[in-house]
């Protein structure tokens, strides 16, 4: 019996191992994406067309943008879209389709116009691709990129301000581009197009620089991950405070005293999530799709939760529905039913109303669980008992007619919901989707677009260009080959286990020995258990080795692809290198001229400085001479005074000397007589 249990356990474990890769792939396929886009800012007239519909509406700021949605900016308009932390800016008269938004792939199609892409964070395995009618450009690194598509002239111009990427054409042609390089192509084979280089210092680029500056200076980026879509609006409409229980908390300004989260807005059917909350407040995106709301004293505050996670996961609405386990319907009397919901509190687990894997649910709840606590496991939720926290509307109003007004809200006793059962699915079926069906997009009450794109762009493209498929097929083949190798390894392990099962009947015969052999049988059972554990460890190690081999194989494929790209770029030398060389020569001549001009300017400045120094020296010498003259003037006055004083004495002395000389002359002549002598 023991041997049969061990054999059965081994078979079940190895069969599960064989299906592990298939199960992981199936889980990835059934889980909705954890990343979305949002119209973060716009000026002028911007129009929106949801997936599966050719109708156009005025762009809604807080409706999530996902696969298949489109945007159009009219003449003079501009728009800013964030996909995680990546910013996509649209100039006027630009048509952009969000061809694919998934956790591992973001693909945009510029049908016409100009788009600037800023990649802030490392892509970490995510593929970011921008397509036009002429090529597919795959971005490889952090940087800034500008793509201009001209449908009328069948040309695409590309400028890499920083970073690097690869341009793909038909038939596998590829051309890598680095920082400060431009490319202009026509047709679908990366054929060089003529004309002047792209102007990358125009009004659109200056607007982009200003948007980058505002994003870089965001205060809220200190408290939440930049992967949280819509965090920029929190700066203008609220304040951050630290709380001992919840950490960093954001409090909205200008809300009424009886306001509650998830009260001002509407429910919209957005595939693949289904019912999605679209808030009416200009800041109403991030706080309603990430983190949790908490009642802090008399105020509501948004708790973003831990921020150290690599990538936040978007949720359509972090609420619970009350009323009853059978569809959560609330009886309003008179045969009418209502729908009620409340915001989840921190550490309360959210569970989607759609099919999803356990991995997806855990990742979606990471921002809702504080680091010092685990999920609460109560029979009720905290905000069921908070006054006015439960929002109730008539069932016929749910998902229809646009945003809720005060006349739609039904006030009911708060104690009615204190112990009411809560579920995560409203008692309203999703509307049928399809073009031309009323309410096909969840009662989206959008206004018809004030500006329509050109007629050629209003209808959707039904077919993708073949050149776009080539780079994606290569990645798909690599993943499929890796999955096949894992399945083959698991199958081989299962066959080895079946071969080992052939020895189990011999062990079963030992169980029929006399009672005196019980102790040897127990020892054999322990040996078998230890052997099973070793086999399980070996199987896990083999699986890890297979994954490592798959990773090495993928790296080798990437290296081969890069080598092929380099060879293709060499083959495209006549298409790219000649215009590039001409541009480099022009740049070199311009730089030389600028250097000569700078040298001449420097010489002139040096001569001017020398003249100024000489003038300053002459002025200093003149000042010194004047100072010396001023110092000598008192001395000269003193000398003149002394000379004036000495002049009478000198004159008397001179007269005395003259008298003496006269007397001497008289004595020598004998004419000198005595006083009494007569003549």
Q: Three-class SS of residue 108?
A: strand
The pLDDT of residue 508: 34
C-alpha 440 chain-centroid distance: 32
Q: How confident is the model at residue 250 (pLDDT cuts 50, 70, 90)?
A: very high
For residue range 593-630, what is the model confidence (pLDDT) as tens digits?
666 677 777 777 777 777 777 777 777 777 777 777 77
Q: Quick: pLDDT tens for 493-515.
A: 555 555 544 443 343 334 333 33
- Give me the pLDDT at residue 26, please: 47
For residue 147, what pLDDT band results from cuts at 50, 70 and 90?
A: very high
Cis peptide before 272 (omega within 30 of 0): yes
pLDDT of residue 601: 72
Specify the pLDDT at position 671: 43
Q: Of residues 312 and 624, which shows the higher confidence score? A: 312
Residue 639 has pLDDT above 60, yes or no: yes
Residue 158's DSSP bridge partners are 147, 183
pTM of the model: 0.67
Burial class (CB in 10 A: 0-12, 13-18, 19+), 597: exposed
Cα–Cα nearest to 346, from 301, 391, 309, 388: 301
Beta-bridge mates of residue 331: 337
pLDDT at res. 566? 53
What would the mean pLDDT of 55-62 be, rounded to a whole number?
92
DSSP string, 377-429: --SS-GGGSSTT-SEEEEGGGTTSSSS--TTT-----GGGGTT--EESS-SSP
What are 204-231's pLDDT values in tens digits?
Answer: 999 999 999 999 999 999 999 999 999 9
151-155, 404-408, 662-666: range with lowest mean pLDDT: 662-666
Residues whose CB falls within 8 Å of the CB of residue 159, separated by 6 or more in sequence, listed in order: 145, 146, 181, 182, 198, 200
Going by CATH, does the domain composed of 34-215 fall within 2.60.120.1440? Answer: yes
- Nearest residue to 380 via CA among 331, 340, 417, 330: 417
DSSP string, 222-283: GTS-TTSTTGGGHHHHEEEEEETTTEEEEEESS--TT--TT-SEEEEEETTTEEEEEESSTT
Q: Which of 126-140, 181-195, 362-376, 593-607 has the highest mean pLDDT?
A: 126-140
**Token reading at 283:** 């800041």
What was the pLDDT predicted at 629?
75
pLDDT of residue 63: 96
Judge whether residue 1 has pLDDT over 80: no
> For residue 461, what is the DSSP state?
P
Q: How confident is the model at residue 418 (pLDDT cuts 50, 70, 90)?
A: confident
Helix (H, G, I), strand (E, B) or coil at 121: coil
CB-based contacts of 556, cutoff 8 Å, min separation 6: none
Torsions phi, psi for 629 (to 5 deg): -60, -45
- What is the DSSP code string of 493-542? HHHHHHHHHTTHHHHHHHTTS-GGGHHHHHHHHHHHHHHHHHHHHHHHHH
Residue 649: pLDDT band (50, 70, 90) is confident
Helices within 433-465 (DSSP H only): 455-458
Lowest mean pLDDT among 80-84, 94-98, 555-559, 576-580: 576-580
* The predicted structure's pLDDT at residue 587: 59
Give the whole-angstrom CA distance, residue 413 versus residue 201. 61
Dist. CA 303–CA 243, nearest whole Å: 10
The pLDDT value recorded for residue 676 is 41
DSSP assignment letter at 642: H
Whether the per-residue pLDDT at 568 is higher than 90: the answer is no
- Which pLDDT score is estimated for 677? 39
CB atoms within 10 A of CB 430: 14
Both tokens of 593, joined, read 């001229």
Contact 499, 167 (CB under 8 A): no
| % of the chain residues with pLDDT over 70 | 69
Percent of the chain with pLDDT over 90: 46
Q: For residue 667, what pLDDT is reported?
A: 73
Rounded mean pLDDT, 49-73: 93
Give the start-to-end residue ranges of the domains of the chain: 34-215, 230-441, 590-629
**Per-chain mean pLDDT for the chain:** 78
> How buried is 13 (Cβ within 10 angstroms: 0-12 exposed, 13-18 middle, 19+ buried)?
middle
pLDDT at 372: 54
pLDDT exceeds cutoff 70 at 14: no
């Amino acid at each position: 019996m023991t041997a049969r249990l061990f054999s059965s356990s081994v078979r079940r474990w190895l069969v599960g191992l064989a299906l592990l890769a298939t199960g992981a792939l199936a889980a990835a396929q059934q889980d909705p994406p954890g990343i979305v886009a949002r119209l973060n800012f716009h000026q002028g007239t911007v129009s929106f067309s949801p997936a599966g519909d050719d109708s156009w509406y005025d762009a809604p700021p807080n409706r999530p943008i996902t696969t298949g949605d489109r945007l159009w900016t009219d003449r003079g308009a501009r728009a800013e879209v964030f996909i995680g932390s990546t910013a996509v800016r649209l100039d006027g008269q630009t048509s952009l389709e969000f061809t694919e938004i998934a956790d591992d792939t973001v693909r945009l199609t510029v049908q016409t116009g100009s788009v600037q892409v800023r990649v802030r964070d490392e892509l970490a395995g995510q593929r970011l691709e921008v397509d036009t009618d002429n090529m597919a450009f795959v971005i490889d690194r952090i940087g800034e990129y500008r793509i201009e598509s001209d449908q009328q002239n069948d040309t695409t111009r590309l400028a890499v301000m920083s970073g690097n990427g690869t341009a793909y054409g038909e038939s596998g042609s590829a051309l890598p581009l680095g920082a400060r390089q431009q490319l202009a192509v026509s047709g679908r084979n990366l054929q060089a197009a003529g004309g002047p280089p792209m102007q990358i210092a125009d009004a659109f680029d200056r607007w982009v620089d200003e948007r980058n500056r505002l994003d870089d200076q965001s205060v809220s980026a200190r408290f939440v991950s930049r992967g949280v879509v819509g965090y920029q609006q929190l700066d203008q409409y609220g304040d951050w405070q630290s709380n001992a229980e919840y950490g960093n908390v954001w409090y909205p300004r200008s809300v009424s005293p009886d306001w509650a989260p998830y009260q001002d807005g509407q429910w919209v059917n957005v595939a693949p999530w289904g019912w999605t909350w679209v808030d009416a407040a200009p800041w109403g995106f991030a706080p309603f799709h990430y983190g949790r709301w908490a009642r802090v004293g008399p105020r509501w505050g948004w708790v973003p939760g831990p921020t150290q996670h690599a990538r936040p996961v978007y949720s359509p609405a972090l609420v619970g529905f009350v009323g009853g386990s059978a569809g959560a319907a609330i009886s309003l009397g008179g045969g009418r039913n209502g729908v009620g919901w409340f915001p989840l509190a921190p550490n309360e687990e959210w569970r989607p109303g759609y099919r999803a894997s356990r991995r997806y649910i855990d990742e979606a709840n990471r921002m809702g669980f504080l680091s010092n606590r685990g999920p609460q496991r109560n029979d009720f939720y905290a905000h069921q008992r908070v006054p006015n926290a439960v929002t109730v509307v008539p069932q016929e109003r749910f998902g229809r007619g646009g945003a809720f007004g005060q006349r739609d809200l039904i006030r009911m006793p708060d104690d009615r919901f204190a112990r009411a059962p809560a579920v995560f699915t409203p008692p309203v079926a999703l509307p049928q989707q399809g073009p031309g069906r009323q309410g096909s997009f969840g009662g989206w009450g959008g206004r018809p677009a004030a500006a329509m794109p050109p007629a050629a762009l209003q209808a959707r493209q039904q077919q993708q260009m073949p050149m776009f498929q080539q780079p994606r097929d290569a990645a798909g083949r690599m993943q499929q080959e890796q999955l096949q190798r894992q399945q083959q390894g698991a199958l081989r392990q299962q066959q080895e286990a079946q071969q080992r099962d052939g020895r189990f009947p011999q062990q079963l015969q030992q169980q029929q020995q006399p009672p005196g052999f019980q102790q040897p049988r127990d020892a054999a059972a322990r040996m078998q258990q230890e052997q099973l554990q070793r086999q399980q460890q070996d199987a896990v190690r083999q699986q890890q080795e297979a994954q490592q081999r798959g990773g090495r194989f993928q790296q080798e494929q990437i290296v081969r692809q890069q080598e092929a790209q380099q060879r293709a770029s060499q083959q495209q030398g006549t298409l790219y290198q000649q215009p590039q060389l001409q541009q480099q020569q022009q740049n070199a001549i311009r730089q030389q001229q600028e250097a000569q001009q700078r040298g001449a300017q420097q010489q002139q400045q040096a001569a001017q400085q020398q003249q100024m120094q000489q003038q300053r020296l002459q002025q200093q010498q003149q000042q010194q001479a004047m100072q010396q003259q001023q110092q000598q003037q008192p001395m000269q006055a003193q000398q003149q005074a002394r000379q004036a004083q000495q002049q009478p004495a000198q004159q008397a002395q001179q007269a005395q000397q003259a008298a003496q000389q006269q007397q001497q002359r008289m004595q020598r002549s004998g004419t000198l007589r005595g006083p009494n002598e007569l003549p």
